[in-house]
Amino acid sequence: MIERIDASRCPACRTIVAPPASYCPHHPVAMEPVSLPGAGEIVSFTTLHSPPTGFKAPLHIALVELEGGARFVCHGAETRGLRIGSPVAIEAVGRVYYFSYLGVVDRARLFWRRAGHAGDRVNAIARSLAKRVWKG
């Protein structure tokens, strides 16, 4: 099971936003709750060496787009090796999102790691990402 991300969809224009919002950003229509798979692609990323108060430097952030078009800013451990279009797994902790980049080597390694309950969840994410990346 891949992590699910809570979001909202506008019944009129189909816009999807996360975190969930009560009203569509484009017009005053009440949005309905949806749940999206926590996997997406890097749209843009950056490292802030002078981050806002309350954050440790360096602060790695990325703009990630989920299937369905919801885009939001995620925090990550690092941006080294990251590219536009890189597949990432998303995890929501409260209203803060974290991305983890799974490179080819990481994915291969994860497939062979069977022990540990943490590994099961990571494996599920890796399988889902691999399906997306290697399909067709």
- Which residues form the interface with Zn ion (CB under 5 A)? 10, 12-13, 15, 24, 26
Alpha carbon of residue 47 to chain centroid = 17
Question: Cα torsion for 32, 37, 39, 40, to the nearest 10°?
Answer: -40
Instruction: Please give the order of strands across the beta sheet that includes 16-17.
Output: 16-17, 4-9, 32-37
Give me the least distance between CB of 72 and Zn ion, in Å please. 17
Give me the least distance between CB of 11 and Zn ion, in Å please. 8
- Quick check: helix, strand or coil at residue 29? coil
Give me the least distance between CB of 22 and Zn ion, in Å please. 12
